[in-house]
Amino acid sequence: MNDWARDAIFYHIYPLGMCGAPHRNTFQGPPEPRMVGIREWIGHLRALGVNALYLGPLFESTAHGYDTADFYHVDRRLGDNRLLTDLVAEFHNVGIRVILDGVFHHVGRDFWAFRDVLTHGRHSHYCSWFKGLDFNRRSPHGDPFSYEGWNGHYDLVKLNLDHPDVRSHLFDAVRMWINQFGIDGLRLDVADELDRSFVRDLAAVCRAVQPSFWLLGEVIHGDYRRLANASMLDSVTNYECYKGLYSSHNDGNFFEIAFALNRQFGAHGLYADLPLYAFADNHDVPRIASSLKNSEHLYPLHALLFTMPGAPSLYYGSEWGIEGQKHANDDWPLRPSIRSPGEATASHPDLANAVGRFAGIRHEIDALRRGSYEQIHVSAEQLVFARRTEKSEAIVAVNASEDSVPLDLHVSFAEGSVFSDRLEPDQLFTVCRGRLKMDVSSCWARILVRQDG
């Protein structure tokens, strides 16, 4: 399995929202190069320590990007293929890899092959491309046939991924994306509902073109190894820890996130060897600043996000603590227009600097990127854990309390081991009689790194 994501810090952009595209595509007129504005974010991303960019859906679609109309052309509301090629090259020039959304489970009603079925009915050559096509019933849209929609949404038509022509069409598109755009990976939408043989074959296609190609799957429930394994995907979304990160803070119950981290990454952890994709929010869930009851918890939460095992990701704008909640079935409040970093309203102006510091420390310390996980202490509002590799050893202590908290910890490090706090470099701590004493400021953290080998 590919390894570069262990050293990655991702930044997630939803281009249709961030670039201020219209919510509906007219499919008329020349491309509008709104996506060129993403260039203005390069300096900001570098300052945050980002070295991998996840761009949400980019290909021609009806509305939100997950209702694809054409897998071979960039959405005209954002630009064209040439612009995407140039944009990926610019990010590569500053050391930032780029992955795109791969939406293969379903398409939109404007997908060209589905339009052919709408026009020619049962005589269309593409009837077998779609799941559950039935000319004995009408669809909720009033079509003279019915079909399977994703999760009851009939604007999203389920593809028949067993059909060889469907696979050929999709796999050829992916080959084009790799060869023409030079992308480094894909995030597979609703991966947990994709046929396993399709995922396996897709992985083989990608790695035949680019051996280092990285595949991430959106998985919300269940055993992550169903898809994250040697023959399929390199990683999946860590929704278990996503939930634990905010609810542990809201409930004053760090035992929840501690249990999840130990279950996943401890000595006998289920996913100790997997760089799971770690996140605090994304385009489908409330902004983290809206999920937390106490906004000061943004600081210890991000300290955890950047020091726990996995590949951490930031969703655009959340580094300033902007808020966002779904309204009924409307996800657009989670996907606001922010044309440039200078346009953002920083609800928490110190947060981006803190995130940049956490990211910088993660880049410097091998143990925080690739180390084992060992729980040292857990209480209602504090969590302490160690991470180790042959190159470095670190101790992370996080405090969500309104008060500074003294900690007297039993540790397994050698007597006399000296640690410095990378957040306060003049602060040194020494293991004495198997114990390490420190205090941790309110809603803050210590990231201790061993100084003596």
**CATH number of the domain to which 122 belongs:** 3.20.20.80
- Classify burial at 319, counting beta carbons within 10 Å of its beta carbon; exposed 0-12, middle 13-18, buried 19 or more: buried
> Would you say residue 452 has pLDDT above 80?
no
Report the share of the chain in percent with pLDDT over 90: 96
**Structural domain count, the chain:** 2
Confidence of residue 1 (pLDDT cuts 50, 70, 90): low
Mean pLDDT of 404-417: 96
pLDDT confidence of residue 342: 86
**Mean pLDDT confidence for 292-314:** 98
Work out the number of other CB atoms within 10 angstroms of the CB of residue 140.
11
CA distances from 417 to 61, 445, 449, 450 (A): 58, 20, 10, 7
Confidence of residue 347 (pLDDT cuts 50, 70, 90): confident
Both 294 and 381 in one domain: the answer is: no
Within this chain, do residues 185 and 323 fall inside the same structural domain, yes or no?
Answer: yes
pLDDT band at 49 (very low <50, low <70, confident <90, very high): very high
Containing structural domain, residue 341: 4-368
Same domain, 35 and 60: yes
Q: Quick one: pLDDT at residue 345?
A: 84
Question: Are residues 427 and 353 part of one domain?
Answer: no
* 343 confidence band (pLDDT: 50, 70, 90): confident
Res 311 pLDDT > 70: yes
Domain boundary among 316, 341, 368: 368
Would you tell me how many other CB atoms lie within 10 Å of the CB of residue 209? 14
**What would the DSSP string read from start to end of 420-434?**
EETTEEEEEEE-BTT
292 with 407, same domain: the answer is: no
Q: At 329, is the pLDDT very low, low, confident or very high (cuts 50, 70, 90)?
A: confident
For 135-195, where are the alpha helices, taking DSSP H only? 164-176
**What local confidence, expressed as pLDDT, does residue 346 receive?**
84
Confidence of residue 264 (pLDDT cuts 50, 70, 90): very high
- Final residue of a domain: which of 341, 368, 395? 368
Give the tens place of pLDDT for each residue, 206-224: 999 999 999 999 999 999 9
Same-domain check for residues 294 and 153: yes
Residue 18 β-bridge partners? none
pLDDT higher than threshold 80 for residue 75: yes
Both 248 and 397 in one domain: the answer is no
pLDDT at 328: 83
Instruction: Please give, one letter per residue, the 3-state secondary structure of 299-363.
Output: HHHHHHHHHCCCEEEEECCHHHCCCCCCECCECHHHCCCCCCHHHCCCCCCCHHHHHHHHHHHHH
Same domain, 357 and 375: no
What's the token pair of residue 327?
């309204």
pLDDT higher than 80, residue 321: yes
Q: Please report, for the chain, how many H helices and E strands are present, in that order.
A: 12, 19
Percent of the chain with pLDDT over 70: 100
DSSP one-letter string for 26-91: ---SSPP-GGGGGGGGHHHHHHHT--EEEE---B-BSSSSSSBS-TTSB-TTT--HHHHHHHHHHH
Joined together, the tokens standing for residue 301 give 């939460």
Mean pLDDT (whole number) for 289-317: 98
- Residues 298 and 179 occupy one common structural domain: yes
Residues 328 and 402 in one domain: no
Q: Tell me, what DSSP letter sits at residue 276? A: -
The CATH number linked to 376 is: 2.60.40.1180
Answer yes or no: do 223 and 357 share one domain.
yes
Confidence of residue 155 (pLDDT cuts 50, 70, 90): very high
The residue type found at 23 is: H
Task: State both tokens at 238.
Answer: 């860590």
pLDDT in tens, 267-286: 999 999 999 999 999 999 99
Query: Which H helix or E strand runs over 13?
Result: strand 10-13
Are 411 and 270 found together in one domain?
no
Residues 170-175: what's their mean pLDDT?
Answer: 98
CB 445 within 8 A of CB 427: no
Please state the pTM of the whole predicted model: 0.97
Last residue of one domain, picked from the residues 368, 399, 426: 368
pLDDT at 453 over 60: no
- Mean pLDDT (the chain) is 97
> What pLDDT band is residue 123 in, cutting at 50, 70 and 90?
very high
The mean pLDDT of 111-123, rounded to a whole number, is 98
